Amino acid sequence: MPPISRDYNTHCRCLQVESRIIPPDTLRSIKLFPEGPHCPDTEVIAGLANGAKVCLNPHSAWVKKLINFFLEKQQTGMTSKKRA
Amino acid sequence: MPPISRDYNTHCRCLQVESRIIPPDTLRSIKLFPEGPHCPDTEVIAGLANGAKVCLNPHSAWVKKLINFFLEKQQTGMTSKKRA
């Protein structure tokens, strides 16, 4: 069996991605890792209320909608936070 | 001085947010914390290449553009990742 090639990426966090929709209220965080030298894929990792971490599919429309939902949602409940 | 009121939130992570634009290539991660019982604000925390963490303003257009840029960018460089 050939050795692992030199440019085998060893730093992608997600081996597989979950395409099923995750109910927003079970989500505690969403972390985005842009593609880079460490990994050729943008990776999206959700932190669930039960402490589990789930890799999401950055291509699926619902992931984009979910992220934009959280960012847009903020518009209605504007609270005064100091701006640097 | 009155005591801290019972519903004083103690779990927001960001006391102030950075509105200045951060160059995408200095970013290693972006973490989104949806508003919830712990904090009335959606919080966006960027992890920089130098290890620093910076709270971003979820209302600023460039933050939304940046996140969508990373998600869209993925479209071009589609790599085959197993889908659960």
Average pLDDT, chain B: 81
- Put simply, whether A14 touches B (Cβ < 8 Å) is yes
* B18 interaction partners in chain A (CB closer than 8 Å): 84
Assess: ipTM above 0.85.
Answer: no
Answer with the residue of higher pLDDT: A7 or B12.
B12
CB contact under 8 A, A17 and B68: no
User: Mean pLDDT lowest for which of A1-10, A15-24, A58-67?
Assistant: A1-10
pLDDT digits (tens, 9 = 90+) for B42-52: 999 999 999 99
pLDDT digits (tens, 9 = 90+) for A66-81: 888 888 875 444 444 5
- Put simply, whether A9 touches B (Cβ < 8 Å) is no
User: d(Cα A46, Cα A53) in Å, to the nearest integer?
Assistant: 6
Residue B63 belongs to what H/E stretch?
A: helix B61-76
Task: Provide the pLDDT confidence category of residue A4 given band limits of 50, 70 and 90.
Answer: low
pLDDT for position B1: 64
Rounded to 10 degrees, what is the CA torsion of B60, B62, B66, B68?
70
Query: A30-64: string of b/e by CB count within 10 Å (b at 16+)?
Result: bbbbbbeeebebbbbbbbeeeeeebbbbbbbeebb
pLDDT for position A46: 96
In chain B, residues 45-84 whose CB comes closer than 8 Å to chain A: 57-59, 63-64, 67-68, 70-71, 73-75, 77-79, 81-84
A&B contacts, CB < 8 Å: 124
CB contact under 8 A, B42 and A73: yes
Q: From the list A36, A57, A79, which residue is nearest B83 (CB)?
A: A57
pLDDT digits (tens, 9 = 90+) for B15-69: 999 888 888 889 999 999 998 888 888 999 999 999 999 999 988 889 989 888 8
User: Rounded to whole angstroms, what are the CA distances from B47 to A16, A63, A80?
Assistant: 23, 20, 23
CB contact under 8 A, A42 and B74: yes
